Amino acid sequence: MNRPVRLGAVDYLNVRPLVYGLDRWPDLVSVRFDAPSECARLLEAGEIDLGMVPSITYLNRPGDRIVPGLCIGSDGPVDSVALFLRTPLAEVRTLAVDTSSRTSVALTRILCARRFGISPAFVPHAPDLGAMLAVADGALIIGDPALFADHRAIGAEKVDLGQAWTEMTGLPFVWAFWAGRPDAASPQVIALLQDAADAGEKHLDAIADAHIEDPARRAIGRRYLNDNLMFRLSGRALDGLRTYYREALAIGAASGDPSLAFFDADASVGSR
């Protein structure tokens, strides 16, 4: 591919370690940042080559490949995907759900059916916590808005969906990963992405500080990157991803092919 590979990343703190230093390689890659659902749309439209796509998106893109070894995941509390409730969970009848991510909506459906024992009506809504709680018993919020929401100030309970998933399954949850068509990226570019993640994981505090303008929130961002997130698509993470797909398909929260296929990554770029 003569032009740089066009990368579409989510516009949240959680992706920054995975794109660390990529701006130094403009001849190989370019990066743009959007909401998770927009990353999926751009990939479908062919406006990007590789997307950090919500994991549910992969089911409906037969033939796509996953960049091996990398993801945005959690193994326990994630802190940035949560239900915010002003009604006891068992009494929730309506949920306003963040339109930014289909993955979290499908996970919410799974947890409501399999763990929480409720069957609420889902109301799509822009991610505005106050407005959402004005029209529903609870709100699903993802990303930075969920991470930094002061739920206690508005008298809401926060139910961490990463924690609920791991308690139910004993497995990590994979929120997003790099994916695209089989010819979207060379082994050199795949290795570049893996190198970026290696470097990013060594600079988590600096990444949080650079992304967060409010100094009072930087400690939250540092803790989040260091303690809540995992960036490696390990064997256990893949088990969690397959379990998620199986559960989503079983309750009708998604459709598609759950088989996983990966890009080749047999070339080193360590000599760049």
Q: What pLDDT digit, counting tens, does each position of 117-143 carry?
A: 999 999 999 989 999 999 999 999 999
Would you state the structure tokens that stand for residue 29, as one six-digit string? 């890659």
Q: What is the mean pLDDT of the chain?
A: 93
Q: How far is CA 31 from CA 9, 90, 160, 225, 245, in A?
A: 7, 43, 30, 20, 28
pLDDT at residue number 2: 76
Position 111, amino acid: L
Pick from 248, 271, 264: nearest CA to 65? 264
Q: What is the CATH number of the domain that holds 43?
A: 3.40.190.10
pLDDT at residue number 268: 42
Would you state the structure tokens that stand for residue 173, as one six-digit string? 């949850």
* Cross-strand bridge partners of residue 114: none
Exposure b/e, 48-69, CB count within 10 A at least 16 = b: bbbbbbbbbbbbebeebbbbbb
Give 254's contacts (C-beta < 8 A, 6+ positions apart). Answer: 56, 59, 60, 106, 245, 248
Q: Do 138 and 180 sit in the same domain of this protein?
A: no
Q: Do 59 and 177 sit in the same domain of this protein?
A: yes
Q: Last residue of a domain, which of 148, 169, 190?
A: 169
Q: Do 87 and 162 sit in the same domain of this protein?
A: yes
Inside any domain, residue 253: no
Give me the number of domains the chain comprises.
2
Q: Do 106 and 234 sit in the same domain of this protein?
A: no
pLDDT at residue number 14: 96
With a cut of 70, say whether residue 65 has pLDDT above it: yes
Q: Do 24 and 96 sit in the same domain of this protein?
A: no
d(CA 231, CA 135): 35
Q: Do 209 and 90 sit in the same domain of this protein?
A: no
Q: In this structure, are residues 78 and 124 in contact, taking their beta carbons and an 8 Å threshold?
A: no
266: confidence class by pLDDT, cuts 50, 70, 90? low
Q: Do 61 and 105 sit in the same domain of this protein?
A: no
Strands (E), 38-85: 50-54, 65-66, 70-74, 81-85
Inside any domain, residue 272: no
Pick from 47, 39, 27: nearest CA to 188? 27
Inside any domain, residue 27: yes
Q: Do 103 and 38 sit in the same domain of this protein?
A: no
With a cut of 80, say whether residue 8 has pLDDT above it: yes
Q: Residue 21 phi/psi, 5° resolution?
A: 80, 0
Q: What is the mean pLDDT of residues 202-229?
A: 96
Q: Do 140 and 119 sit in the same domain of this protein?
A: yes
Tens-place pLDDT, residues 221-234 = 999 999 999 999 99
Pick from 38, 33, 26: nearest CA to 11? 33
Q: What is the mean pLDDT of residues 246-268?
A: 87
Position 114, amino acid: R
With a cut of 70, say whether residue 26 has pLDDT above it: yes
Sign of CA dihedral 241, 256, 10, 105: negative
Q: What is the mean pLDDT of residues 3-21?
A: 95
Domain that holds residue 136: 81-169
Would you state the structure tokens that stand for residue 23, as one six-digit string? 């701006």
Q: Do 69 and 185 sit in the same domain of this protein?
A: yes
Tens-place pLDDT, residues 152-176 = 988 999 999 999 999 999 999 999 9
Q: What is the pTM of this model?
A: 0.93
Number of CB atoms found within 10 A of residue 32's CB: 15
With a cut of 60, say whether residue 1 has pLDDT above it: no
Q: Do 163 and 96 sit in the same domain of this protein?
A: yes
186: confidence class by pLDDT, cuts 50, 70, 90? very high
Inside any domain, residue 256: no
pLDDT at residue number 271: 32
